[in-house]
Amino acid sequence: MDERIDGTKVAVLVANEGVEQVELTEPWQAIQDAGGRPSLIAPQPGEALAFNHLDKGDSFQVDRAIGEADPDDYDALLLPGGVANPDQLRTSPEAVAFVRAFFAAGKPVAAICHAPWTLVEADVVRGRTLTSWPSLRTDLRNAGATWVDEEVVTDNGLVTSRKPDDLPAFCAKMLEEFAEGRHPAQSTSVS
């Protein structure tokens, strides 16, 4: 990955338990390797417990609780997957508002696997084309999106992928979109 995002501040939004570890760690490392500055945001301060599918993984220090995080302080948003992760985030009004703020400001967003569930709750997928873990297909279509089964999809600053196997393509496209910065058409999709 040759894309540079020097100094770009990336909010990485996760639940305090349930994020898929590899979908957190690989994009995080790609952001750092490209000169970006990731920050782990979660509903509660302390730690976020990751999972390797259904098995407990490592814990990661939360940089800011979502109530203390201002979307204006970040240039881009990463939403890792894991089944429990977005399922918890979409029930948090603060998390949903945080996500919506990135779309309203036209900032790039990257979401992998089950993470688009949070996008559905934020009502930012209508009229967009995206991908996800296959079980979200109907939820995304019902929310007004066009779902496709592709390794990585980009739609006006929104990057989505299906699963951990897609991480190389996801990380490359994520960095490209983060390097481009704001996408004015992104904000027109917020209802």
Cβ atoms of 170 and 110 within 8 Å: the answer is yes
> Which of 165, 156, 162 minimizes the C-alpha distance to 185?
156
SS3 155: strand
The Cα–Cα gap between 124 and 30 comes to: 26
The Cα–Cα gap between 133 and 137 comes to: 8
- Which position among 53, 113, 171, 183 bears the catalytic label? 113
Catalytic site includes residue 113: yes
What residue type is 119 in one-letter code?
A: L
Q: How many other C-beta atoms can be found within 10 angstroms of the C-beta atom of residue 20? A: 26
Q: Which residues are catalytic?
A: 113-114
